[in-house]
Amino acid sequence: METKIEDRARVHLLIEGRVQGVFFRASAQAEAHRREIKGWVRNCPDGSVELVAEGKRKDIDDLIAWCRHGPRGAEVANVQVEWQEYSGGFSAFRITR
């Protein structure tokens, strides 16, 4: 069954706390792949992690919920959520620099 365009979503997240050095990016990539979400994740110079994701709205909501705790060893203090217009411009979910 094809996903309707109105069921698709794009979100930009900034995840703050102890989120670097705990495999947050690799774990987020695995979570995204499991949900067939496309986009990217990267470490920021200030110690936060930035993530852009596109996919089905329910899957995006599930990824945001996961980001609120992250992988074992992470201590997420805050997740800034900014909804954006879906573009469909990603072919995979990648870790970037």
| Domains along the sequence of the chain with CATH | 17-95 (3.30.70.100)
pTM score of the predicted model = 0.93
Question: Is 78 part of the annotated catalytic residue set?
Answer: no
Mean pLDDT of 48-67: 98
Q: What is the pLDDT of residues 73-85, one digit of tens each?
A: 999 999 999 999 9
**What's the burial of 1, exposed, middle or buried (CB within 10 Å: 0-12/13-18/19+)?**
exposed
Q: Which of 25, 57, 78, 97 is catalytic?
A: 25
Question: What does the buried/exposed string (b/e) look like for 60-77 if buried means 16 or more CB atoms within 10 Å of the residue's CB?
Answer: bebbbebbeebbeebebe
pLDDT of res. 11: 98
Mean pLDDT of 57-82: 98
Question: Is 8 part of the annotated catalytic residue set?
Answer: no
Q: Which of 8, 18, 42, 43 is catalytic?
A: 43
